[in-house]
Amino acid sequence: MEKALNSSEILPSKSSQVLSRNEAESSKEGDNSKRQWEKRVGFVLVHAGAGYHSESKAKEYKHVCKRACKKAIEKLQAGDLATDAVTAALVELEDSPFTNAGMGSNLNLLGKIECDASIMDGKSLSFGAVGSLSGIKNPVLAANKLLCEGQKGKLSAGRIPPCFLVGDGAFKWAVDHGIPTCPQDIMATKLSLAAFKRNKRKLELAEKVETDFIQYKKRRQSSEKENDSGTLDTVGAIVVDQDGNVAAAVSSGGLAMKHPGRVGQAALYGCGCWAENTGVHNPYSTAVSTSGCGEHLVRTILARECSLALQAEDAHQALLESMQNKFIGSPFLANEESILGGVIVLRSCRCSTKPSSADEKQALLGKWVRDSYREVMMFGNSEGNNSTQHLTNILFWFLNRTDFIFSLQWNFYGVIQQRVCALVTCQRRMVKPRRTFLGYLRVQ
Let me know whether 29 and 168 are in one domain.
Answer: no
CB distance 137 to 175 below 8 Å = no
Residue 109 belongs to a domain: yes
Angle (CA) 218-222-223 rounded to 5° is 115
Residue 141: its H or E element? helix 139-150
Let me know whether 296 and 182 are in one domain.
Answer: yes
Sheet of strand 115-121: strand arrangement = 164-166, 127-133, 115-121, 246-252, 235-240, 43-47, 435-443, 417-426, 376-383
What CATH number is attached to the domain comprising 89? 3.60.20.30
Closest CA to 301 of 288, 283, 310: 288
pLDDT tens for each residue of 286-301: 999 998 889 999 999 9
| Residue 310 belongs to domain spanning | 40-187+227-443
Strands (E), 150-302: 164-166, 235-240, 246-252, 273-276, 285-292
Looking at residue 298, its pLDDT comes to 97
Is the model's pLDDT at 430 over the cut of 90? no
Using 50, 70 and 90 to split pLDDT, how confident is the model at 319?
confident
Angle, in degrees to the nearest 10, between helices 190-208 and 213-226 = 170
**Percentage of the chain modeled with pLDDT above 90:** 43
Let me know whether 249 and 317 are in one domain.
Answer: yes
Looking at residue 347, its pLDDT comes to 84
Residue 216 belongs to a domain: no
Average pLDDT, the chain: 73
Q: List the beta bridge partners of residue 10.
A: none
Q: List active site positions.
A: 234
Poorest-pLDDT segment among 60-69, 272-281, 288-297: 60-69
**What pTM, to 2 d.p., does this model score?**
0.75
- Distance between CA 164 and CA 179 in Å, rounded? 16
165 burial (CB, 10 Å; 0-12 / 13-18 / 19+) is buried
pLDDT tens for each residue of 359-407: 544 443 333 333 332 222 222 222 333 333 333 333 333 332 222 222 3
Looking at residue 317, its pLDDT comes to 82
Let me know whether 11 and 47 are in one domain.
Answer: no
- Distance between CA 433 and CA 228 in Å, rounded? 6
Residue 277 belongs to a domain: yes
Average pLDDT in the 192-203 region?
Answer: 92
Looking at residue 29, its pLDDT comes to 52
Sheet of strand 273-276: strand arrangement = 273-276, 285-292, 340-350, 390-400, 404-413
The residue that leads in pLDDT, 125 or 405, is 125
CA dihedral (249, 255, 256, 261) positive or negative: negative
Looking at residue 343, its pLDDT comes to 84
Let me know whether 122 and 16 are in one domain.
Answer: no
The residue that leads in pLDDT, 67 or 179, is 179
Looking at residue 324, its pLDDT comes to 86
Looking at residue 340, its pLDDT comes to 79
Let me know whether 172 and 298 are in one domain.
Answer: yes
Let me know whether 128 and 90 are in one domain.
Answer: yes
Residue 219 belongs to a domain: no
Let me know whether 403 and 267 are in one domain.
Answer: yes
3-state secondary structure 402-443: CCEEEEEEEEEECCCEEEEEEEEEECCCCCCCCEEEEEEEEE
Average pLDDT in the 16-20 region?
Answer: 42
178 to each of 135, 136, 304, 378, 444, how far by Cα in Å?
Answer: 13, 11, 31, 40, 32
Let me know whether 13 and 72 are in one domain.
Answer: no
- DSSP-assigned letter for residue 211: T
Looking at residue 247, its pLDDT comes to 97
Looking at residue 160, its pLDDT comes to 97
Using 50, 70 and 90 to split pLDDT, how confident is the model at 332?
very high
Looking at residue 260, its pLDDT comes to 97
- Distance between CA 57 and CA 55 in Å, rounded? 5
Average pLDDT in the 128-140 region?
Answer: 98
Residue 327 belongs to a domain: yes
Residue 217 belongs to a domain: no
Residue 246 belongs to a domain: yes
Let me know whether 70 and 30 are in one domain.
Answer: no
Is the model's pLDDT at 12 over the cut of 90? no
Looking at residue 382, its pLDDT comes to 26
pLDDT tens for each residue of 90-115: 999 999 998 999 999 999 999 999 99
Is the model's pLDDT at 212 over the cut of 80? no
What would the DSSP string read from start to end of 303-317?
A: HHHHHHHTTSSSHHH
Let me know whether 54 and 102 are in one domain.
Answer: yes
Helices and strands (DSSP H and E) totals, the chain: 13, 14
What lies within 8 Å, CB to CB, of 109 at 6+ separation is 257, 258, 259, 260
Is the model's pLDDT at 86 over the cut of 90? yes
- Distance between CA 31 and CA 151 in Å, rounded? 36
Let me know whether 58 and 162 are in one domain.
Answer: yes
Looking at residue 135, its pLDDT comes to 97
- Distance between CA 226 and CA 81 in Å, rounded? 43
Looking at residue 77, its pLDDT comes to 86
Q: How many structural domains is the chain composed of?
A: 2
Looking at residue 42, its pLDDT comes to 74
Looking at residue 379, its pLDDT comes to 22
Using 50, 70 and 90 to split pLDDT, how confident is the model at 31?
low
**Percentage of the chain modeled with pLDDT above 70:** 62
Residue 44 belongs to a domain: yes
The residue that leads in pLDDT, 77 or 146, is 146
Looking at residue 211, its pLDDT comes to 53
Closest CA to 245 of 388, 344, 124, 122: 122
Using 50, 70 and 90 to split pLDDT, how confident is the model at 346?
confident
φ, ψ at 108 (rounded to 5°): -85, -170
CB distance 247 to 121 below 8 Å = yes
